[in-house]
């Protein structure tokens, strides 16, 4: 599997900032109430956002882009169906 960066620099910095914020908040809450599993889950999600920002790869974005490519390639290749015509922009003149 070839992992290429699929998010931009600004998006990566936002993910790192939000991820560290969520991670700090959840670990501080986890210290007060260690029996709460929700804080542990939030810490894991915050850590995942930090990792996505550092690597600049988001698996959900890659999955969405792959799905869009599949839909685009399947558009006119169905048997017994007419090819899908592309929509032309509306031009009132």
Q: How far apart are the first and last CA of the chain?
A: 49
Domain ranges of the chain: 9-74
Which tens digits make up the pLDDT trace of 5-40?
A: 899 999 999 999 999 999 999 999 999 999 999 999
Would the pLDDT of 77 be above 80? no
**pLDDT score at 17:** 97
State both tokens at 67.
Answer: 């799905």
Distances (CA, A) of 61 to 6, 9, 17: 7, 15, 19
Q: Helix and strand tally (H, E) in the chain? A: 3, 0
**pLDDT score at 23:** 97
């Amino acid at each position: 599997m070839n992992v290429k960066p699929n998010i931009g620099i600004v998006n990566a910095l936002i993910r790192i900032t939000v991820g560290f914020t969520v991670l700090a908040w959840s670990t501080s809450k986890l210290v007060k109430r260690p029996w709460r599993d929700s804080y542990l889950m939030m810490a894991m999600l915050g850590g995942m956002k930090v990792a996505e920002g550092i690597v600049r790869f988001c698996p959900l974005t890659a999955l969405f882009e792959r799905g869009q490519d599949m839909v685009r390639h399947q558009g006119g290749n169905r048997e017994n169906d007419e090819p899908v015509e592309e929509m032309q922009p509306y031009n009132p003149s």
